Structure formats: C-alpha cells, structure tokens
Amino acid sequence: MDHKYLLTIDQLQLKLPCMDRAILQDINYSINPGDFVVVLGGNGSGKSSLIKAINRGYPITGGIISFQQQPVASYCAADFAKEVITLTQDTSQSLFNDLTVLENCLLWELRHKHVSLQCATHQERALFHEYLVAFNPQLPDKLDTTCARLSGGEKQALILALCLRHPPTLLLLDEHTSALDPKTAHYIMGRTHTELLEHHITCLMTTHDLEDALMYGNRLLALKEGRIVYQADGAQKAGLQRSDLLTLCY
Amino acid sequence: MDIIIPALEQSALFFPLALGIYLSYGILRTTDLTIDGSFVLGAAVFARLLTGGMNPWMSLLVAILAGFLAGIGVSFIQKGGRINGLIAGVLALFILYSVNFQVMSRPNISLYNAQSLFAPALNLGESGQWIMLIALVMLILIFIAFLLKTRLGLVLRAFGDNPYLLKNIGKSIEGYRFFGLALANGLAACCGALSAQIHGYADINMGFGVTLTGIGAVVIGQQLMKRFTTNRPFSVTLDLTGCFIGVFLYFLMINIFLRVGIDPINLKLVLGLVLIFFLRAASSRQQGMLYGS
C-alpha cells in the first residue's frame, strides 16, 4: 500500500489516573494530507482530549498515534513545534500576555530559529508591521501594546497570524472561535479556511457550531463518551443537513 | 550628605545581588531563596581562596562560578516541577549552610592580612576601592542590560510570562531555568565576595535575609517606576533604574532609622513592616478583585 497518511490513530485509548472510565476508547482514524476534519460531539465527549492526545498534551495509555509515519511521542519538542500547532478558544495559551505584540511575534519566530544574542532590529519591526495588517488593520499600530490589552478578536487574529508565519503541516483547532462575537468568529473562521487552502495545511477542528461544521471541511467525525459514533467523508458529508448532525452526532 | 553617601556605597555593593533577584523574581517570576546561601557561598569561597594565597580576581571568578553551581543545583531540585520553587530554594539554602561551613572550615574568616581585590586603587585612599567597586558593578549592569535586550533575554521574560507556551514553541524550559537561576546565583555570589572584601571578613551568617531585602528593594523600585510611567511596555533602562532606586531607598531607610535612634535589634522588625507595606501595595491591583468587597 503506497498511500501515505499524514496522521494515523490506531486503537487509541486515553485514561487519566483519577478517572475510572477511559476518556477515549478504540479510536481508529487516519487523516490524509490536505484533509480538513471537523470533530463534533457534546461536552465531555472527548473532543479536546483527542486534540491533546495528538499534540502530546496528555500521555496516551493505549494504542499509537503516528504523524508522518512516526509516533508523535518520539518527536523532539523543537521538531514537533515546527510541524504541529494547536489553537484553542483560550487565547492566553497561545500568547505571552504581558509581552508586547512585537515581542510575541519575535518569540513565535523562534519556532524556526535558535535563540541568539541578537537584539530586535528595525527590519523585523517593519516586517511585522507589514505582515500583521492583512490579519487585522489595527494590529500594526499596536506593536508596542501588551497582548493583555488587546480585544478578543485582535488576540485571535494575532494568533492566527503568528501561526501562519511559517505554516505548520498540521493545525489543530479546539473551538478556536467559540469565545468570539458572531461577526468576528465568522471572519476568523473564514480567514482560517482561506489560509488552510492556500498553504495546503491539514486541519483537525473541534466545534459546537453546526453551521461551521456543515460549511467547512471535507470530513466529519463525531465522538460520544470517548468513542467514534459517526463519520462522513467527501460527498456524504457535503449532503448532510443540520438536522442530520443533531440526530447522528449527539 | 553623611547619610546619602554611605547609602549610595551600600547600594552599589548590594546592586549585583539585586540584579540577581530581579532576574529570578522579576523576570523568571520564581522566588528563589537560594540567594541567601549563594551570597555566603561567594564570600566563603572568595575568603578561603584569598587567604590561601590565590590572586584576588581569580578568587572572585571562582566564587562567581560557585554561585552558578548553586543555581544549577537548585534548578535540579526543581526539575520537572516536582518540587515547588520556594521549597527547592529553602532546601538548597539548608544544604548550602553545611557546604559553606565546609568551604570556610570555621564560622568566620578575616581578610585583614590578605591581598585586596582593590589593591591597585589603594593609593587613592578610601575612595579608591569604591571607585573600583562602582566600575565593576557598572560592568555587571551593562552585561545584564545587554543580555535582557537580546533574544535570549526575551526568552527569559517569556519563561516568566508563560512557560507552557514557550515549551509549545519547542524550547527547553528547563534549560532556561538553569541559565536564569545560575546567573542569578552567580550574581549573588559575586555580591557576597565583594561584601567580604569591603567588610574585611566572611561570616557563615552574613546572608541572613538578603533575598528578602533584595525582593523588597526590587519591588519598591518597580512600584515607583509604575507610578511615574503608566502602562509602559517593558523597558530595560527603566526597570534597571527602578532596581537601583529601590535598593538605594532601602539603604537610605536603614541609615535614617539608625540615625533617628531605632535600636539595631529592632531594625529588622521595622524594615519587615515597611516591606510588608510595599509587597502588599504591589499585589493589590492583581488580586484585589478576588478579595475586595
């Protein structure tokens, strides 16, 4: 078989020592390069845990998760950081809140660079001034503002900009627009989608927004009590209605 | 004037340690109590080597290296987050008490008959050693200021702000804790060695409370800088100036208290109360929402 999956999840089991029931059980799933997988499921169904199992936030207790034919656990931190990025609704996990926008940009650049004794230059400043405007017109004027003082929409736009500076191979989105107002959420979601297509980024996204689940992605996966209860690909997913999702996925 | 000059001299002597505290408490945001022990370790190593006949500058260098080692040691105790930073510091301090005794082999070493670090300036009289000390402290200050302006300094600040994210960016957070704490303790050891030189002796108990004094001074300085410059982003110059002002005000207070006739036995009581006031003022804005009525 020549087909190379980007990510394969094989017999995944995830159990935390403090809980008697497994959070994730018997998960088998493979993701092709370029796939956009939408993950649905109620609260506590294991959506976020699945993301954390993939990004090594939780040590898995059974099965194996392979990324580019290599177990995720075997990657060194620096290599994994270049390939995989996770965004959540909690922007404080993706930003250094007491540091300025520019300092955050410089730090995120270190995903691809070694830490040096170089000082911040005017060129770098000009570079990010120009780069950020495409994501949010206010951001370039706030290079010296600390991130804690940005609005929720500005933060999420900045985070998106930061993670697309050097596009990852796999982007994990954990309800990244759920804390935003409808208009901003719509903008960020649309923007995310455009960038995914443009840079051929593979994406796994959890969401509670059924409109988004119908509109975006070529594959759909539903979890319930830690198990896969429904999946649909390609044309089958495209034919789904809102009412289908409610009956099939929850 | 006869209050200000001694206060300035004491501040210059204490400043390397304050910079160490600024690095660990202000930048890395860990409270590292090892500093108390590293201060004595620096003095002990310096005094022992100097009285053993080693060149004063080499002795100072070895004393600083000993401080680095103490910092690396306490990072090891903390490694993996298994032991809380505060407890790790107290543990390291506990261990260092024995180590310092071993190094000194007696509770007190006098440097009265040894060669002085400041021998080249002694023909200038009493002020000569202070000029050399201030020049040395300035060099340290420039080094730290440069460091904080670089990408490495930025990463150290990022460590203090959000170590989880730093890890997700693919950086080894243990490595930066190692580096930061080693540097902080090296500075403390340097300060200990200089103190031993200026005072003419090293004593096993000379480090009592220096961490607390340093934290107090750094917090006083930062509070004042915050009052005068609202909502500024990070500035190396302002922060380090704040540190010095904080240290100076602290020693000014001590000198004034002694001058107005407060019994030296009660000095720590009074200073402790002043520090409580400043530390409370510093955190009121962060946690006031939780406890406020």
Structure tokens at A229: 């209860």
Residue A81: which pLDDT band, with cuts at 50, 70 and 90?
very high
Write down all domains in chain B, each with its CATH number in brackets.
4-291 (1.10.3470)
> What is the CATH classification number for the domain harbouring A237?
3.40.50.300
Q: How far apart are CA B15 and CA B180, in angstroms?
A: 17
- Does A1 contact chain B (CB < 8 Å)? no
Hey, what amino acid is at A31? I
Is the residue at A1 inside a domain? no
**pLDDT score, position A79:** 92
Nearest-CA distance from A248 to chain B in Å? Answer: 35
Structure tokens at A244: 């289908």
Q: Residues of A with CB below 8 A from B231's CB? A: 149
Tell me whether residues A94 and B165 touch, CB distance under 8 A: yes
Tell me whether residues A96 and B170 touch, CB distance under 8 A: no
Per the structure, the count of domains in chain A is 1
Closest residue on chain A to B155 (Cα):
A107
Q: Percentage of residues in chain A with pLDDT exceeding 90? A: 77
Domain extent, residue A213, equals 7-249
Q: Is B170 helix (H, G, I), strand (E, B) or coil?
A: coil
- Does A95 contact chain B (CB < 8 Å)? yes
Nearest-CA distance from A229 to chain B in Å? Answer: 31
Is the residue at A58 inside a domain? yes
- Does A250 contact chain B (CB < 8 Å)? no
Q: How far apart are CA B216 and CA A197, in angstroms?
A: 54
Is the residue at A83 inside a domain? yes
- For chain B, the distance separating the N- and C-terminal CA atoms, rounded to the nearest angstrom, is 46
Structure tokens at B151: 């990408």
Closest residue on chain B to A145 (Cα):
B233
Q: How far apart are CA B45 and CA A13, in angstroms?
A: 55
**pLDDT score, position B284:** 58
- Does A108 contact chain B (CB < 8 Å)? yes
Average pLDDT of span A189-214: 94
Is the residue at A214 inside a domain? yes
Q: Residues of B with CB below 8 A from A107's CB? A: 154-155, 158, 166, 169
Tell me whether residues B170 and A103 touch, CB distance under 8 A: no
Q: What is the DSSP string of B117-166?
A: TTGGGGGG-HHHHHHHHHHHHHHHHHHHHHHHHBHHHHHHHHHHH-HHHH
Query: What interface predicted TM-score (ipTM) does this complex get?
Result: 0.89
Is the residue at A38 inside a domain? yes
pTM score of the predicted model: 0.90
Chain B interface with A: residues with Cβ < 8 Å: 147, 149-152, 154-155, 157-158, 161-162, 164-172, 231, 233-234
Neighbour tally for B74: CB within 10 Å = 34
Q: Is the pLDDT of residue A247 over 80?
A: yes
Is the residue at A137 inside a domain? yes
Q: Is the pLDDT of residue A208 over 50?
A: yes
**pLDDT score, position B275:** 83
Tell me the pLDDT tens digit for each residue of A17-63.
Answer: 887 788 999 999 999 999 999 999 999 899 999 999 999 988 889 99
**pLDDT score, position B190:** 97
Is the residue at A2 inside a domain? no
Q: How far apart are CA A182 and CA A169, in angstroms?
A: 28
Is the residue at A178 inside a domain? yes
Q: Is the pLDDT of residue A144 over 80?
A: yes
Q: What is the DSSP string of A120-181?
A: P-HHHHHHHHHHHHTT-TTGGGGTTSBGGGS-HHHHHHHHHHHHHSS--SEEEEESTTTTS-
Bridge partners of A70, per DSSP, are A67
Q: What is the DSSP string of B8-37?
A: HHHHHHHHHHHHHHIIIIIIS----THHHH
Average pLDDT of span A110-128: 90
Q: What is the dihedral of CA A144, A146, A151, A156, to 10 degrees?
A: 90
Tell me whether residues A107 and B169 touch, CB distance under 8 A: yes
Structure tokens at B267: 């000095």
Tally C-beta pairs within 8 A across A and B.
Answer: 78
Cα→Cα distances B141→A19, B96, B212, B226, Å: 52, 27, 21, 21
Nearest-CA distance from B157 to chain A in Å? Answer: 8
Structure tokens at A206: 């959890």
Tell me whether residues A115 and B155 touch, CB distance under 8 A: yes
Tell me whether residues A145 and B233 touch, CB distance under 8 A: yes
Burial B105-124, CB ≥16 within 10 A → b, else e:
eeeebebeebebbbeebeee
Q: How far apart are CA B38 and CA B60, in angstroms?
A: 13
Q: How many helical (H) and strand (E) elements, i.e. helices and strands, does chain B have?
A: 11, 2
Contact between residue A86 and residue A51 where contact means Cβ atoms under 8 Å apart: yes
Question: Strand A227-233 relative to strand A219-224: parallel, antiparallel, unpaired?
Answer: antiparallel
Tell me whether residues A115 and B172 touch, CB distance under 8 A: no
The low-confidence residues of chain B, meaning pLDDT below 70, are 230-231, 283-293
**pLDDT score, position B277:** 85
**pLDDT score, position A179:** 87
Tell me the pLDDT tens digit for each residue of B254-286.
Answer: 899 888 988 888 888 988 898 888 878 776 555
Q: Is the pLDDT of residue A1 over 50?
A: no
Region class of A58: left (phi > 0), else alpha (psi between -120 and 50), else beta: beta
Closest residue on chain A to B157 (Cα):
A99
Contact between residue B71 and residue B184 where contact means Cβ atoms under 8 Å apart: yes
